[in-house]
Amino acid sequence: MEYVRIADTDINHKLLHQQMEQFISDQSLENLSQISLTSIAGDDDWECTVGKLHLLDHPERFYSVINESLSGTYIHELISRYSKYYRWRLLRLTGRSCYSVHSDRNAGDKFNIRLHIPVITNPDAFLCFYPEKPSAGKDLTIRHEHLIAGNSYEVNTTGLHSAINYGIEDRYHIVGVRYENSNNW
């Protein structure tokens, strides 16, 4: 099964990194591991889309207006470039940590596709994909994908997956979501 596709290879990750650090500092968001880049009204609600999908106040597609403080930035330009995506967030995965194994399923037969734009990464940071649910005594081949800064990627997160950062520095990705009919993925 295919999990990751390169979308573009022309991302200016140095400018993106610089603007991300400035934006986090200007808005005093250093302690957040997830930051909402879009909201319902673009009103700089930096936490409206963070956390688990079922805990959101509204369907994901409602979080599509770029927050006002990002106006005129490269971050704004990138979110606008990928206009079919919504619920944009900046995700930080601290060094030597991982997410739980989970799936981003949606009702129906659509695939959950995430657009990942690596901002800061290291060679020891991976997305991990599981072909099925692990069980005791069963060997599984887990696919590891390292996403490189400078590229953007479409990632199928419908099935079981996780992210792990074996490195010591934090990994940052900008991530948007959309749903795709199964015959297109």
Residue 34, in any domain of the structure: yes
Give the residue among 152, 159, 146 at the shortest CA–CA distance from 176.
152
Chain length of the chain: 185
Give pLDDT, residue 110: 86
CB 46 within 8 A of CB 67: yes
Taking Cα atoms as reference points, which of 27, 59, 22, 25 lies closest to residue 43?
Answer: 27
Place 107 in a pLDDT band, splitting at 50, 70 and 90: low
Q: Which residues contact 115 (CB under 8 A, 6 or more apart)?
A: 7, 82, 85, 152, 153, 154, 155, 175, 176, 177, 178
Provide the CATH number for the domain around residue 120.
2.60.120.10
Mean pLDDT over the full length of the chain = 94
Tell me: pLDDT of 108 over 80.
no
For the segment 63-70, the average pLDDT, to the nearest whole number, is 98
Q: Which domain holds residue 153?
A: 4-180
Under the banding of pLDDT at 50, 70 and 90, the label for residue 181 is: confident
- Total count of domains within the chain: 1
112-157 pLDDT per residue, tens: 999 999 999 999 999 999 999 989 999 999 999 999 999 999 999 9
Judge whether 185 lies within some domain.
no
Give percent of the chain with pLDDT exceeding 90. Answer: 86
Nearest CA-CA partner of 185 in 117, 113, 116: 113
Q: How far apart are CA 4 and CA 127, in angstroms?
A: 9
**pLDDT value of position 42:** 97
34 pLDDT band (50/70/90 cuts)?
A: very high
Does the pLDDT value for residue 106 go beyond 70?
no
- pLDDT tens, position by position, 20-33: 999 999 999 999 99
Domain assignment of residue 135, yes or no = yes
